[in-house]
Amino acid sequence: MRRAIALAATPGVPLHPNPRVGCVLLAPDGTVVGEGYHHGAGTPHAEVEALAVAGEAARGATAIVTLEPCNHTGRTGPCAQALIAAGVRRVVVAQRDPNPLASGGAETLRAAGLEVETGLLAEESEAVNPAWTFAHRHGRPFVTWKFAATLDGRSAAADGTSRWVSSLPARRDTHRLRALSDTMLVGTNTVDVDDPQLTVRDDDDRPVAAQPLRVVMGERDLPADRRIFDDAAPSLHLRTRDPEQALRTLYTEHDRHHVFLEGGPTLAASFLGAGLVDEVVTYVAPMLLGAGRSAVGDLGIPTIADAFRLELLDTTVVGSGPEANVRLTLRPTLRGTH
């Protein structure tokens, strides 16, 4: 199974919209007769690729798969049926499929007389597709809120200027994190005032090939010449101020699994207040402003006992010398825990 997980995590495989999956086929004597992994949407699934390598040697073999073989027909046929047709005798699965549209493969295999085991190294397998797994279990995308702030928690100076609170190395690191998501989300005020393009760029400031969906959330109309509406990447205007509705729409209508929230303090406060932030990434710059815009808006917290608490997962210095920022990665915990 560890080999199958390594195949699933092959560098360069897209993180979305499909899960990364690996498969190893073992002959009855334990010899590897086929391997495969999913290369991205529209390509053969891991099981099908491994079966093609194995050919007739797949008959009587054991399939080791990181994700339950799919049970539906999408761009490709159901992998459960492919395993049955190839004469595979036994299937060992790490993670059960949380996607209701594709799950049920284990039951189909058992009904056809195959021996099926599930749960082997399930957590390790889930770690290969964390946002995809979360989205299908919760019916909404995983949300990462990213912001940059000074030591005193300001995201902009008193005159509204905010370029640049974070350093160049921190901004490059932000683009690396943007590329891990499939959706960039900001509010109408950010688009109207800051006019961000919200694309992913490499270290030479060139746009990368695969761009996330750019989403602006809010009810008011926006000028058509805002950069978020250019042809550098796909874009969408969700005319709602309800974070829950926005996430539900992105999941059910646009198959989105990981939202990278880069809006201003008001939008951030609305997502935090709704309990819809799953991860926080902040770049802390070694500067003080003493006044200016806070990184997050009013959370309705009257006393310290009601504060939002976050668990610190990682601390990393990004850059060096005067360009150094500290990147904190945190996970929200229960509000009011003290």
The residue extents of the domains of the chain are: 2-132, 139-332
Q: What is the chain's Cα-based Rg?
A: 23
Candidates 55, 56, 52, 50; CA nearest to 25 is: 50
Q: Helices H, strands E: what count in the chain?
A: 10, 15
- Predicted confidence at residue 241, as pLDDT, reads 95
More confident residue, 98 or 263: 98
> Do residues 32 and 54 make contact, with C-beta atoms less than 8 angstroms apart?
no
Whether 2-132 shares its CATH topology with 139-332 is answered no
For residue 176, pLDDT over 50 is answered with yes
Residues 52-59 have a mean pLDDT of 97
For residue 308, pLDDT over 80 is answered with yes
Percentage of the chain exceeding pLDDT 90: 84
CA geometry: angle 278, 191, 187, nearest 5 deg:
35
What is the Cα–Cα distance from 113 to 89, expressed in whole angstroms? 8
> Do residues 50 and 34 make contact, with C-beta atoms less than 8 angstroms apart?
yes
Its pTM stands at: 0.91
- Predicted confidence at residue 116, as pLDDT, reads 97
Which residues does residue 22 pair with via DSSP β-bridges, in sequence order? 37
- Predicted confidence at residue 77, as pLDDT, reads 75
Confidence of residue 209 (pLDDT cuts 50, 70, 90): confident
| Fold for the domain defined by 2-132 | Cytidine Deaminase; domain 2 (3.40.140)
Confidence of residue 334 (pLDDT cuts 50, 70, 90): low
What is the Cα–Cα distance from 134 to 147, expressed in whole angstroms? 22
Percentage of the chain exceeding pLDDT 70: 98
Residue 278: Cβ within 10 Å count: 21
- CATH for 139-332 is 3.40.430.10
Catalytic positions, written as ranges: 47
Question: Mean of the per-residue pLDDT values for the chain?
Answer: 93
Residues 20-30 have a mean pLDDT of 97
> Do residues 38 and 76 make contact, with C-beta atoms less than 8 angstroms apart?
no
Residues 147-175 have a mean pLDDT of 90
Candidates 248, 12, 17, 285; CA nearest to 132 is: 17
Residues 220-247 have a mean pLDDT of 96
The amino acid occupying position 177 is L
Structure tokens at 38: 């999913």
Structure tokens at 32: 């590897």
- Predicted confidence at residue 60, as pLDDT, reads 97
For residue 68, report the phi and psi dihedrals to the nearest 5 degrees. Answer: -45, 130
- Predicted confidence at residue 89, as pLDDT, reads 97
Show contacts of 227-230: CB within 8 Å, 24+ apart.
Answer: 227/195, 227/196, 227/197, 227/198, 228/186, 228/191, 228/195, 228/196, 228/197, 228/198, 230/197
Q: Give the model confidence (pLDDT) of 59-118 as tens digits.
A: 999 999 999 999 877 767 799 999 999 999 999 999 999 988 888 999 999 999 999 999
